[in-house]
A = this chain, B = another copy of it.
Amino acid sequence: MQENSGHRSNRERTRETRAALLSAARALFVEKGYADTGTPEIVKAANVTRGALYHHFRDKEDLFRAVVEREAVAVSSEIERNACAAATPLDALISGSNAYFDAMAIEGRARLLLLDGPAVLGPEEMSRIDRETGGGSLLDGLAALFGRAPDPEMQALADLLSASFDRAALAIAQSARRDDYESAMATLLNTLTVAVAGT
């Protein structure tokens, strides 16, 4: 392996350039938001030129999408990594909830995935990304909890709960007391369990 200069394969060049752009863009998008971050600023931080950026990405939005997708994949994989076998469906939901909060506690993720993402890419695109990464696990948990196959209404319920998770993550990111939101979320899931048991 030749490590220093002289000969860099095209694949390596591409990999490094894209990585530098994604990293620099992520930092700036998190710090100042999508709208207030210019491409000149991004390429300066990444030590490349705008030519490189527009070679690898269709436009600024495309770069942002790549950042968001990488972040969604990271969240999903961190959750999956922490997925341990739970005794009851409720335990599974609770532990999944905590894993989600842990994953979303990483600096900037809440802003990228919950604030700028939906506004810039649109909710349809965001839910597409969700589906293609970790999506559906909440619906599965609900189906297990209710003991029946998913139907449109259960799908809607999963969506509503997902929105609650997101809001909790966002509130925590804004330095709300995490305990409050964690226990409120637990209350919500608990009541669901109690109700379905009482049926």
What residues make up the interface of A, taking CB atoms closer than 8 Å to B?
33-35, 115-116, 118-120, 123-124, 152-157, 159-164, 166-168, 170-171, 174, 176-177, 180-181, 183-185, 187-188, 190-192, 194-196, 198
Contact = CB atoms under 8 A, between A and B. Distances in A.
Given A118-B115, A167-B162, A194 B198 contact: yes
B115 A170 contact: no
**A contact face: mostly helix, strand, loop, or mixed:** helix
A160 B190 CA distance: 14
Nearest to A185: B160
A120 B156 CA distance: 28
Contacts of A161: 164
Contacts of A184: 153-154, 156-157, 159-160
A119 B115 contact: yes
